[in-house]
Amino acid sequence: MVGRWLDPACGDGAFLLEFVRRLADAVPAAELPRTVEERVFGFDLDITAVDAARVAVREEVERRCGALSSAFLAGNIRVADFLELDPEPDYDVIAGNPPYVSATQLTAAEKERFLERFATAWGRLDLYTLFIEHGLRFLRAGGRLAYITPDKWLGAASNRRLRTHLARNYVPRTIDRFERHDLFPGVATVPCVTMIERPRSPVPTPASPMVRWWSVDPGGGPQPVSDAREVSIRSDGTPWLVARPVPPVEADHAPLGDLVERISVGVATGLNSCFVLDAEGVRSIEPELLRPVARGRDIAVGQIRDAKRWMLVPYCFSDDGTAAELIDLDEFPGAAAHLARHQEALKRRHCVRVWGKAWYDLHDPITFDLARRTKVLLPDLAQHPRFAVDNGRALPLHSAYYVLPRPGGPLDAGALADALNDPVVAEELRTRAPTAKSGYRRFRAQILRDILVPLASRSDRDAA
């Protein structure tokens, strides 16, 4: 237990208190105030939080060694915007729970400043990723940083630069992953804890962190659900994901991700009240721009209910559906008049304001005619997974996922849906999916990719 410790976004001091408790176990009580002042440091933007943290830490020390002056730790725990501080590589341990603030909550000016200042800021940046980059600059050689953050950055395309930067310049040691998203009230995110070391000498090849999976029960602490496994990382920013270890499998199973062309969430429009219409709403719109939609709730086992709703898809597709182009509004007066009525709200969408998309474009990229492809659909959120084949009719909305069979692949859409609705596979999927609200499970793409599916149907196996 050596050196200087910092929580760069200390809030009311949860991590600082833990530093102090550990120091209290290691040094005699009479030494504690001096040791704490030499070693424990915290910053926060919020003056109320800083005051609360100072008081909490002082009281923790006083409990063990008597009254201290109110100036105790005044220089150590202070108001600061950590992202604006010039780095001083002064710390041996940096630990904390940095703010999770996504690009959508930042002003354009803030975002621009971050894009200029941080090498890893790109696309949909989030403050916690900047806290990773900046925090590492404050470490002495050999020092370690450990944060609890959302796990998105381990796989998201917009965090490629961060993964590249870490793999090339630092030594990621451990990643602890959790199965639940509800560890923090009101924060819908699946957390992970990452520990990264600042090396004493340049990193010749990327180091491989060890990944452990934990389950968390509401009443109890985390329980390991796997042994630690090494994830080999590359310096090109490839995702740092390893599947949760699964029980040994028969050779006639394969991960779904290896069998299909694509697994993805359905289309987000950014303004469903404009783009998703009922029978009345579609009347004035050119039929070639309309696709029936499927929402999560419309999907039952083996069956998709007619939602009696259509999406206005402002795209023209090539005859084979593989190329897509945003429409020219002059050519579609019906759609143009409808979109114009929503113009103000459409322009306020993130994809228009921040990404600079055309005001009547959809939020998500459209690169092919998804509705017209045969695919397997499932709801993103459900108590039990439910899969059904759509024979090239419906466009899944954001509340559904779709699995596109690989043309000529080992399982067509019907066989895939059967395999995925198999009770053993469905139960395995249910237990792996993180719990969302009130017992519902969230079937994220990564979990779907990793699920092992039988290559022969149950009846084939029974007959064999």
Ligand X SMILES: C[S@@+](CC[C@H](N)C(=O)[O-])C[C@H]1O[C@@H](n2cnc3c(N)ncnc32)[C@H](O)[C@@H]1O
- Does the protein bind ligand X through residue 401 (CB under 6 A)? no
Angle 127-137/160-169 helices, nearest 10 degrees? 20
First to last CA, the chain: 62
- Does the protein bind ligand X through residue 94 (CB under 6 A)? no
- Does the protein bind ligand X through residue 49 (CB under 6 A)? yes
Tell me which of 6, 9, 403, 433 binds ligand X, using CB under 6 A: 9
Tell me which of 82, 91, 153, 170 binds ligand X, using CB under 6 A: 82
With respect to ligand X, which residue has the nearer C-beta, 31 or 46? 46
- Does the protein bind ligand X through residue 197 (CB under 6 A)? no
Residues 207-266 binding ligand X (CB under 6 A) are none
- Does the protein bind ligand X through residue 60 (CB under 6 A)? no
CB atoms inside a 10 Å sphere around CB 117? 13
Shortest distance (Å) from residue 112 CB to ligand X = 16
Report the DSSP pairing between strands 374-379 and 400-405.
Answer: antiparallel
Q: Rg of the Cα trace of the chain?
A: 26
With respect to ligand X, which residue has the nearer C-beta, 214 or 402? 214
Bridge partner list, 178:
214
Question: What letter does residue 391 receive in the DSSP assignment?
Answer: E
Residue with CB nearest ligand X?
11
Shortest distance (Å) from residue 189 CB to ligand X = 11
Q: Are 292 and 393 in contact (CB under 8 A)?
A: yes
Q: Are 39 and 74 in contact (CB under 8 A)?
A: no
- Does the protein bind ligand X through residue 21 (CB under 6 A)? no
Token output for 280:
């009345």
Q: Are 72 and 34 in contact (CB under 8 A)?
A: no
- Does the protein bind ligand X through residue 83 (CB under 6 A)? yes
Name the nearest CA neighbour of 311 among 339, 337, 330.
Answer: 339
- Does the protein bind ligand X through residue 188 (CB under 6 A)? no
- Does the protein bind ligand X through residue 44 (CB under 6 A)? yes
3-state helix, strand, coil in the chain (%, to 5): 35, 25, 40
- Does the protein bind ligand X through residue 99 (CB under 6 A)? yes
Contact region for ligand X (CB under 6 A) — 27-35, 78-86, 169-177, 188-196? 78-86
**Alpha carbon distance 138, 90 (integer Å):** 6
**Alpha carbon distance 30, 35 (integer Å):** 10
With respect to ligand X, which residue has the nearer C-beta, 14 or 424? 14
With respect to ligand X, which residue has the nearer C-beta, 83 or 452? 83
Residues that bind ligand X (CB under 6 A): 7, 9-11, 14-15, 43-46, 49, 81-83, 96-97, 99
